[in-house]
Structure 1
């Protein structure tokens, strides 16, 4: 599987309303709608959970293009800093929405890097609850093996810190190689992607999918145009067509 995933901004300055969210999804071809949960204590209905940091919500995006694009919502457990917080928020959001697929992260206080031990602890509890869990980890073969053993159906691995746009940092190549060789589950590069070249490198290394976010809004970038470019790259790689020089 060669695939492209994306979110709708990494911070409040990245403004995405319902119309823009729909155009981003059309441009990307992504069929998974990432639904943020950082405001879970401020809503009383699942449809009010935000998609990004503006007026786009689970309910508004699904009403506009859910059927058209055959969208499957995924709970994005974004910005917790402990396993306990991640588990609590997942259970709350699932109760409100009925969604059982979990894009799980537990980050350091600066919201830049995964805290692997906390991710594993949260994944252990949530898979025991019957959730389908996609944990985000920094590159570490032992942590990867733990996530697989717990039953994660996909593991997301960071190439560089969130928002860094540095692609895959050189020190991560060796542990990534250990994780990718004969992996029993799909592996996504998620964290630090800054360009289509980073995406091409990821697929060349053996990643099955990539997730882009911060780079879609960097330096005045139009996220729809950026996603169209990433989609074209993913499609070309999937077809085996070499890059133009």
Structure 2
């Protein structure tokens, strides 16, 4: 199972360039999520933030070096309407040239996906040639619509953003149906709060998992990512037959 992560969910989650690079090294993550919530306050793509402090697309890309395999993707974070998500994507793509989109449209509290709005935004963006990874709450029919639109991966919430309680009991049955019928990779993204949640996700059949706010619970996101990486690798390892 692949491990994805962002670089903080709130302003108090401070990540500078060095720490962002160290987090990527600890996780083995192949993608650099570039936030777009400040798109109206920047004139260059390189100034878009990685997280909520001083790390930026330009500073992290420079620190990683030209030979780095890490691929930047646009994180369309915090829009509350499909129109806002599409407009923000257009502006971010214009500034950066990036075409892979981590798409969400959230409720007013920024905690739960608005599935119908996500579908509307995804339909527009896929039609325009973007690769779109939409975020939805568990819904077998909505996932099928995402696939029919052309989404190459679908991110499914286990519980509300920041809840840190893994897969909410009210969503568990529908999540099982989603995993049983999905024809594209499915990421668990939302509400992950512990290494145990990640191990359970690996065993349940998710292709990947995203962690964020829980990394900052003890103040050391690099160490937290090492723990997640080790646990996921152990869960993915084939069982060893021991003969007495």
TM-score with structure 1 setting the length: 0.95
- Cross-structure match for 1:231: 229
Instruction: Report the 3-state secondary structure (helix = DSSP H, G, I; strand = E; otherwise coil) of the residue aligned with 2:55.
Output: coil
Per the TM alignment, residue 3 of structure 1 is displaced from its structure 2 partner at its CA by: 0.3
* Contact 1:26–1:69 (8 Å) recurs in 2: no
Per the TM alignment, residue 69 of structure 1 is displaced from its structure 2 partner at its CA by: 3.8
Unaligned runs of 5+ in 1: none
- Cross-structure match for 1:103: 102
Per the TM alignment, residue 221 of structure 1 is displaced from its structure 2 partner at its CA by: 3.1
Q: Moved runs in structure 1, 4+ residues, more than 2 A?
A: 66-69
Number of aligned residue pairs: give it: 240
- Cross-structure match for 1:194: 193
Per the TM alignment, residue 202 of structure 1 is displaced from its structure 2 partner at its CA by: 1.0
* Contact 2:143–2:182 (8 Å) recurs in 1: no
* Contact 1:144–1:179 (8 Å) recurs in 2: yes
Per the TM alignment, residue 39 of structure 1 is displaced from its structure 2 partner at its CA by: 0.5
TM-score with structure 2 setting the length: 0.96
* Contact 1:31–1:69 (8 Å) recurs in 2: no
- Cross-structure match for 2:139: 140
- Cross-structure match for 2:168: 169
Distance across 2 between alignment mates of 1:138 and 1:20: 31
* Contact 1:187–1:209 (8 Å) recurs in 2: yes
Instruction: Report the 3-state secondary structure (helix = DSSP H, G, I; strand = E; otherwise coil) of the residue aligned with 1:181.
Output: helix
The C-alpha deviation readout for 1:146-184, integer Å capped at 9, x for no partner, is: 111100000000001111100011121211111111421
Distance across 2 between alignment mates of 1:104 and 1:62: 22
* Contact 2:144–2:182 (8 Å) recurs in 1: no
Distance across 1 between alignment mates of 2:150 and 2:169: 29
* Contact 1:32–1:73 (8 Å) recurs in 2: yes
- Cross-structure match for 1:77: 76
Distance across 2 between alignment mates of 1:182 and 1:141: 8
- Cross-structure match for 2:53: 54
Distance across 1 between alignment mates of 2:65 and 2:215: 22
Unaligned runs of 5+ in 2: none
* Contact 2:165–2:192 (8 Å) recurs in 1: yes
